[in-house]
Structure 1
């Protein structure tokens, strides 16, 4: 993962228009947290129509329809030994739900972690088969499509035991946020929504858990909310997450859990 932005010259005006139609209103409030009246919890569930969707202001002009001080927690690149379980433990302790963008080869190797992620109420989404170092924007179109399709199939098989013709959760994030108009058009035809982020923890850079906590809280306070990118493959992220979740509660933030709108998944 790098900090490079990806410019999109095609389809943005259409995507902006579709955004008005693509997002469902907020759905049900989340359950309370048994035995933890002080827990952060999940403030609400947002049903998202993935068709034509391109959100996350690091890559696109628009984001999800969040209220001030609402955050969507997302994690990339897992599942990974040790760290993913620690991240899940931290989320469970606060009754918080997040979205995990899985790498297919990691899901294939660790289906038990994928099943646990799903069983604990999180959204299992997709992040290519191998997270190629060259990114999907630097390889031929057919190879990029193969990366996407194989990754989705591996994630689905790990999570549900089988992979169908369409993903049960049609959410995708480009490795390195690097896309092309051609691949974006392919995903739109497939009804798969594309997610960037509004702010990131830069946890691909080695830092102490405290330094990362300070960094992401400063960025979050400056932004006022949004889609936050972490990596559940990073020990520093797993170590700082409990303090981060408590800080969200103390600072008056609310977590929004995004799920596919009913009838739009496979």
Structure 2
């Protein structure tokens, strides 16, 4: 697995005074967030399920990501579990869901998580749409999430992180996002939580895959009740097995450029 050593700037959690909720005293004995990785979005394409490279993670380090939210009930359950263990994650939000539940988007941010983008309507897939329609769906998703999160949307997404629904990218769409300065995230492993299973089955499957890979970007869906029920036990398993959570944030304030 080739990792991107040149696209990230790593800072320790202790060096970030803006994160008081993760102070060592408050999180003693919990899983916690071991470090924060500042990611340069421009040109980024990571996640070995779809791309040949991933983030520069050491053995035992994981990045937790959630797709398709926010969703009433399940997203709050996930957030409570993360807060209990002092863990921070990245949520790739669907624009129309964010527009319907802006208070949940603001809660995700207020609790220290990163909010990325997952298109406006979650088509399966964007690559199957005409290029102009796919771009319009992506751009509307940027605007909807930012308006829900920050009250207004500018010419570029506040956090230039994007994940294709169903990993359905195309060379033309990847080129478009690269020119926009938007980083594209795949995953290194996933829980397969789009398939019905019990939380216990999902935990066993996820940990088996993680114990095999030993590191990586993990994909969950905070819209799934089975995932929301599984997350507390999953975080406990990470702590007991000595895994470390890395929180990703964009380098700089605004790295995406305005569309042509």
Counterpart for residue 46 of structure 2: 55
Q: CA deviation at 1:29?
A: 2.0
SS in 2 for 1:157: helix
Q: CA deviation at 1:25?
A: 2.8
Q: CA deviation at 1:24?
A: 2.1
Residues 45-89 of structure 1: CA distance to partner in whole angstroms, max 9, x if unpaired?
000000101000000000000000000000000000100000000
1:184 & 1:118 partners in 2: Cα distance? 27
Go from structure 1 to structure 2 and tell me whether the alpha carbon gap of 1:186 and 1:253 turns closer, same or farther (over 3 Å shift): same
Counterpart for residue 64 of structure 1: 55
The gaps in structure 2 that reach 5 residues or longer are 15-21
SS in 1 for 2:63: strand
Counterpart for residue 17 of structure 2: none
Counterpart for residue 242 of structure 2: 252
SS in 2 for 1:38: coil
The gaps in structure 1 that reach 5 residues or longer are 1-15
Q: CA deviation at 1:137?
A: 0.7
State how many pairs are aligned: 248
1:265 & 1:124 partners in 2: Cα distance? 15
Q: CA deviation at 1:34?
A: 4.6
1:216 aligns with 2:206: yes
Q: CA deviation at 1:20?
A: 5.1
8 Å Cα contact 2:5/2:55 also seen in 1: no
8 Å Cα contact 1:33/1:94 also seen in 2: no
Counterpart for residue 42 of structure 1: 33
Q: CA deviation at 1:33?
A: 5.1
2:26 & 2:11 partners in 1: Cα distance? 24
Q: CA RMSD in A?
A: 1.5
SS in 2 for 1:137: helix
1:28 aligns with 2:12: yes
- Aligned counterpart in structure 2 of residue 164 of structure 1, from 136, 140, 154: 154
- Aligned counterpart in structure 1 of residue 80 of structure 2, from 78, 89, 96: 89
Q: CA deviation at 1:124?
A: 0.4
8 Å Cα contact 1:33/1:39 also seen in 2: no
Counterpart for residue 13 of structure 1: none
1:119 & 1:265 partners in 2: Cα distance? 22
1:185 & 1:262 partners in 2: Cα distance? 22
Counterpart for residue 99 of structure 1: 90
- Aligned counterpart in structure 1 of residue 105 of structure 2, from 102, 114, 117: 114
SS in 1 for 2:127: coil
TM-score when normalising by structure 2: 0.92
1:145 & 1:254 partners in 2: Cα distance? 36
Residues 194-240 of structure 1: CA distance to partner in whole angstroms, max 9, x if unpaired?
00000000000000000000000000000001000000000000001
Counterpart for residue 203 of structure 1: 193
8 Å Cα contact 2:5/2:56 also seen in 1: no
